[in-house]
Amino acid sequence: MLLNDDFSRRALVHAGRLEWMPSPAKGVDRRMLFRIGDEKARATSIVRYAAGSRFPHHEHPGGEEFLVLDGVFQDESGDFPAGSYIRNPPGTGHAPGSDDGCVIFVKLWQFKKSDRERIVRLPGEGRSGEPGSAATSSRTLFDGADERVMLEDWQAHADIELANPQGLELLVIDGSLTEAGDILERWTWLRLPQGQMFRARVGDRGAKVWYKSAPLLHADVLAFDQAGDRGPTR
């Protein structure tokens, strides 16, 4: 499957309007945003776990990164409530699930080969920065050599500009904003190619956003063989 695989073009998905599609695990459904591959894929998705659902233990040779949007995500390493941000580097594995149900935003197989540090940011953790004039709060979730991941609250009716020297990816967690004539509401995902400036007007209720400034696909991201490892992919 190829979905939004052209990194030279702006990509926009109103994920809150999509139907949930089943995954290989009972009770785990997903809304696909970006995908290269079938069940083993380089992928970005919003994934919903029904209460009591779980994936069997599996490895992530290319790593995974996720933000808990709702409920409590669980695996062998602990419980992660809404607002938690986790980076599991290449070579790690787990058996994810949720006793009471949860929703996560997850990126699979998009790590640099050299990125080997596990990161856990629980709600309220991460480096708090001085908010800009349009932000009421700003948290740096990850800051690497060429990758910066942020969680910010933007004021209602603010005009937002973000430089984009490498590539930009953004998820609206709550509220709304208007960008390039499109209204981005809750769980809308946007990806802009390198050099395309982000300019937006925040809606009446403000907006909470996750965004990443980084190459849209790292030059040294691990390759994968779709005919090989067939572990489950969310």
Domains defined for the chain, CATH in brackets: 2-121 (2.60.120.10), 127-213 (2.60.120.10)
By three-state DSSP, how is residue 16 classified? helix
In this predicted structure, the answer to whether residue 75 has a pLDDT above a threshold of 70 is yes
pLDDT tens per residue, range 136-171: 889 999 999 799 999 999 999 999 999 999 999 999
CA nearest to 150, candidates 163, 141, 137, 162: 141
In this predicted structure, the answer to whether residue 130 has a pLDDT above a threshold of 70 is no
What residues form DSSP beta bridges with 216?
none
pLDDT tens per residue, range 191-231: 999 999 999 999 999 999 999 999 999 888 888 654 434 44
The CA angle 219-142-154, to the nearest 5 degrees, is 115
In this prediction, residue 4 carries a pLDDT of 97
Q: What is the mean pLDDT of the chain?
A: 92
Structure pTM?
Answer: 0.93
In this prediction, residue 134 carries a pLDDT of 80
Task: Label residue 129 by pLDDT band (50, 70, 90).
Answer: low
In this prediction, residue 83 carries a pLDDT of 97
By three-state DSSP, how is residue 15 classified? helix
What's the residue count for the chain?
A: 234
Lowest average pLDDT, out of 54-58, 122-126, 157-161, 225-229, goes to 225-229
d(CA 145, CA 25): 36
Percent of the chain with pLDDT over 90: 79
Mean pLDDT, rounded, for 111-139: 83
pLDDT tens per residue, range 1-38: 999 999 999 999 999 999 999 999 999 999 999 999 98
Element (H, E) at 87: strand 85-88
In this prediction, residue 233 carries a pLDDT of 56
Q: Does residue 120 contact residue 79 with C-beta atoms inside 8 Å? A: no
In this prediction, residue 66 carries a pLDDT of 98
